[in-house]
Chains A and B, each alone.
Chain A
Amino acid sequence: MSENPTSLSEEDVRHVARLARLTLSDDEVGRFTEQLRGVLDLAADLEALNLDGIEPTAHPSELSNVLRTDEVVASLNQDAVFAAAPKIIDHRFSVPKIVGDAP
């Protein structure tokens, strides 16, 4: 992704589409480049603010240490887990063959 959002290029859009495994037509690439540029330009307005001396905010709520005790609760039953799965083999989700291993 480019440093300056307003310079978002069609190539950037193709790259993001590839990462998300989306196939875009040339028309779509043009349209999404324009739309994404608009979104990024909006966010770029923030760059104009003077943030000297302001701590980065990790989360908009001021909460921290929201924790739960380490106790097992019931999981879903397999019927519910597989209800929307297109294909199940040996109690596992079947997906198109993946070459190589996990990242």
Chain B
Amino acid sequence: MSTLPNGWEMVVGLEVHTELKTQTKLFCGCANAFGSEPNTNICPVCLGLPGSLPVLNEKAVEFAIRIGTALNCVIQGSSFHRKNYFYPDQPKDYQISQYDIPINGIGFLDLPDGTKVGIERAHLEEDTGKTTHVGGSGRIHGSDESLVDYNRAGVPLVEIVSAPDIRSAEQARGYAAELRAILIASGASDGRMEEGSMRVDANVSVRKGSDAPFGTRCEIKNLNSLRSLQRAVDFEALRQIDLLEAGESITQETRHWDEDAGRTQTMRSKEEANDYRYFPEPDLVPINPTQAFIDEIARSLPAMPAQRRVELIAQLGGDPTQAQRDQLMAAVELNVDSFITGAIHAGVTPAIALARTANELAALGDEIFSLPLDDYVALLKLEDAGALSATQSKAVLADLVAAGGGDPAALAKQRGFEKLDDGSLDGILDEIIAANPDEWRRYCEGDDKLTGFFTGKVMAATKGQADGKAVNAALRTRKG
């Protein structure tokens, strides 16, 4: 936990925009797709052409309510407003958003560290188009232009606004990580920060002590990873403290996080840009979800990350080590814990299921979600039974994920990972015992600590191909 100098305290609130996993946009039937050719998923509605009328996507409403329910929000009747601004990322010159009455009101999020962060609202709005800025030395025609692709304009978003309850950069990261896990669990979003489907802006201010009034805040944009978020919040709080301690004041503004330079920079001053002239959207009628619909969504929500952590601890049995707790946190955060529970249910030793999933499987990227659970379990069972060493198991796992599944025993054979037959193990043991007579004598006299010594020698001699259990058994037999 980093601490700020001289009794300063940071106050942070996060605004998280998450794209919803609908097939179509919020107000028209254009595809909601990432990576299409520019300006192919657009129509008169998302271009705001005269005579076109928006019609609300029912799936987006359901997803928004799923998110609100998962965040313990008050679900309420709501309506849409136009947010007017002059910028080419919206061809209509306004964004349809929710203003005074959002679909999800006050809620809260419990963090794994035991703290609670309030949710002020989680409202529906449409995404903007994507602008690419081309400078004098830019790659296109060397001209000073901005290029706009409207495929993303109109894609449904939920903006989740936290209360200014966050007091450290670690907590900000923890909030964003838990929120992402909840968004993924709710089925409403894929939570991919690197693709921009989840975007985090941080409002940061500082004050002297926890009773002082809030200071002037700055909003930080361009936080593309949890790591960037944590670094940027820490940097910004210290920047503000330096200014205040030098007798200067903070200007309320939007700042851009430069990941390479590790600092925030002025993007634009806020005062004037903020005059959005909200007014009710006349082309859309209110949303009044029925209680039955809200209840149905609450019933259909799967287990949330907090509950999944509790269940995992129970499945592991006993008292998990700190390393295991860390593994468990990471597994739930990365949404790979179903592999652990699946493997444990299938009879794999819990510690192996946990370690292999949190450490190795989770590091192999999104492709792991196409890996059939049965194939994964089959691999862990080979390791569990001693047919593969841990090192071999990890190598086969990478092959298995790359191939999108398959028979782990066959893949192990392809790599030449054959279980050593007893005959060759005997020969190797003969040599090792002959080379280490003192250790062997002490082992035979009852010094069990030397089991590890001999097992290690065998593993080194066989490049990890020997089965640890078989080696132990052979050692015991020879000792007599």
Q: Does B35 contact A (CB under 8 A)?
A: no
Are A64's CB and B148's CB within 8 A?
Answer: no
Q: Does B268 contact A (CB under 8 A)?
A: yes
> In the assembled complex, which residues on chain A have CB atoms less than 8 Å from the CB atom of B28?
73
Q: How far is the CB of A95 from chain B (nearest CB, A)?
A: 5
Known: A19-B275, A66-B56. A72 touches B221 (CB 8 A): no
Are B56's CB and A102's CB within 8 A?
Answer: no
Are B147's CB and A94's CB within 8 A?
Answer: yes
Map CB proximity to B onto A76-103 as digits: 1 under 8 Å, 0 otherwise: 1010011000010111111111101111
Q: Does A20 contact B (CB under 8 A)?
A: yes
Q: Quick one: closest B residue to A69, CB to CB?
A: B58
Q: How far is the CB of B321 from chain A (nearest CB, A)?
A: 45
Are B89's CB and A102's CB within 8 A?
Answer: yes
Q: Does A71 contact B (CB under 8 A)?
A: yes
Q: Quick one: closest A residue to B289, CB to CB?
A: A65
Are B149's CB and A19's CB within 8 A?
Answer: no
Interface stretch (choices A3-11, A26-34, A42-50, A55-63): A55-63
Q: Does B43 contact A (CB under 8 A)?
A: yes
Q: Does B361 contact A (CB under 8 A)?
A: no
Q: Does B114 contact A (CB under 8 A)?
A: no
Are A101's CB and B275's CB within 8 A?
Answer: no
Q: Does A2 contact B (CB under 8 A)?
A: no
Are A96's CB and B145's CB within 8 A?
Answer: yes
Are A95's CB and B286's CB within 8 A?
Answer: no
Are A19's CB and B277's CB within 8 A?
Answer: yes
Are A81's CB and B24's CB within 8 A?
Answer: no
A-B CB contact pairs (8 Å), 9 listed: A59-B79, A65-B289, A72-B24, A75-B31, A76-B47, A93-B39, A94-B146, A95-B145, A102-B87
Binding site for A on B (CB under 8 A): 22-24, 28-31, 37-44, 47, 55-61, 77, 79, 84-89, 128, 131-135, 140-141, 144-150, 221-222, 256, 267-268, 272-273, 275, 277, 280, 282, 284-289
- Given contacts A64-B77, A91-B37, 16 further A-B pairs with CB under 8 A are A15-B275, A19-B86, A64-B286, A65-B289, A66-B56, A68-B29, A70-B57, A71-B24, A81-B39, A93-B149, A94-B147, A96-B146, A97-B133, A97-B134, A102-B128, A103-B273
